Structure 1
Amino acid sequence: MSDFCDPVMEAVAEVFCNGGDFVDMILAAKEAACMGINKIQLADLIKRVLIEADLYSPEAEELLILTVAQESQGGTYLRQLGNGPALGIFQMEPATHDDIWENFLGYRESLGERILDVAGMFNGPDSKELEYNFRYAILMARMQYYRRREPLPAVNDVKGRAVYWKIYYNTPSGAGTVSEAISNYERYCRAV
């Protein structure tokens, strides 16, 4: 059985075991087939990239996993729906990308060079890379949190991570909610 079929069969089996009918099983299969990147591989990539860039902590890993779950439904979307400006699995807007470089990394030359090196970017920062360079998207999402003075929430504090995401990534004026972020984390990326 292919890797594609595994989550579909798991979704159907779960519905069946919980007494769901045929229509529920079809809907579960359809939803599972449309989910984003394999959550185990995505979490592994996040961890490996953070370690390589010397930016790893379990708290940072979990915060980025929650962020990708909320922002792109676990990597389902690479461009913002409705022709918005956000790009990549973390749905970072080019303006945010540019602000990180101008007001944070621009004053931390060695950190900026490390980001570009680990991301395999040799022509300088470019927000277009967020869409298809997963390494760069991971590192730029990490920078959005890294530049904050407040400590990252504990690994076991899902609500704390969702609140932190809301304040520092989505912003208080953003459309996302803490409860939505928790729900999407549980749905797309929990138990990695």
Structure 2
Amino acid sequence: MNKAIKFQHEVIRPVLEKMHASNLAAEELLLGTAVQESLNFKYRRQMGNGPARSYFQMEPATHDDIWNNYLKYNARRAALVTSFLSSPDADKHDELENNDQYATAMARVHYMRVSEALPKQGDIEGQANYWKQYYNTPLGKGKPSEYIEKWHHYVLGSED
């Protein structure tokens, strides 16, 4: 089993199931996001000493915005996300970088804030465009073509 599929089965799927947010379209989008952002699970910290953390390369400012402007107003969802912390008083930024379950939950919540429906399962081009628009943002350096290329190489291929 390649690294990407292993991460999907061992981390993404169980997290989404515990969050009551499980579906294959969300799994694929999170997997594609992690593969694209971390170069197939190679980087937990942004290259060039940037602020982004975890395989999802979420910036602390984005993390904090999710807590301050979304989870703060959704106690049930906040409790689910908090349940992935290694301890109740854990440093959330450290957890973002080193706790794959917590980082996955935060990435899923990031996408939950988007009002547009997730692309359908198997629509990798749609997922790449969704990632670009709502995760990497139009100002980000990533390109949907890179996302698609990495999906084919690391997820569908056997590359580790």
Length-normalised TM-score, structure 2: 0.92
Match of 2:97 among 123, 126, 131: 131
Q: Distance in 2 between matches of 1:46 and 1:190?
A: 17
**What residue number does 2:47 align with?**
81
- State yes or no: 1:118 paired with 2:84: yes
Cα separation, 2, equivalents of 1:53 and 1:124: 20
8 Å CA contact retained: 2:85, 2:95: no
CA contact (8 A) 1:116 1:125 kept: no
Matching of residue 98 in structure 1 with residue 74 in structure 2: no
Corresponding pairs, count: 157
Deviation (angstroms), 1:119: 3.7
* TM-score, scaled relative to structure 1: 0.77
Equivalent in 148, 151, 155 of residue 182 of structure 1: 148
In 1, Cα distance between equivalents of 2:102 and 2:87: 8
Structure 1 residues without counterparts, runs of 5 or longer: 1-5, 8-37
How much is the aligned-residue C-alpha RMSD, in angstroms? Answer: 1.8
Distance in 2 of aligned mates of 1:161 and 1:181: 9
Larger Cα-atom Rg: 1
Q: CA shift at 1:125, angstroms?
A: 6.5
CA-CA distance at 1:40 after TM superposition: 2.4
- 2:111 alignment partner in structure 1: 145
Conservation of the 8 A alpha-carbon contact between 1:72 and 1:89: yes
**Bigger relative CO (Cα 8 Å, ≥ 6 apart):** 2
Cα offset for 1:129?
1.0
Shift of 1:156: 1.4
SS in 2 for 1:76: coil
Equivalent residue for 1:170? 136
Give the C-alpha shift of residue 130 in structure 1: 1.1
SS of match in other structure, 1:55 = coil
Report the alpha carbon displacement of residue 124 of structure 1 after superposing the two structures with TM: 6.4
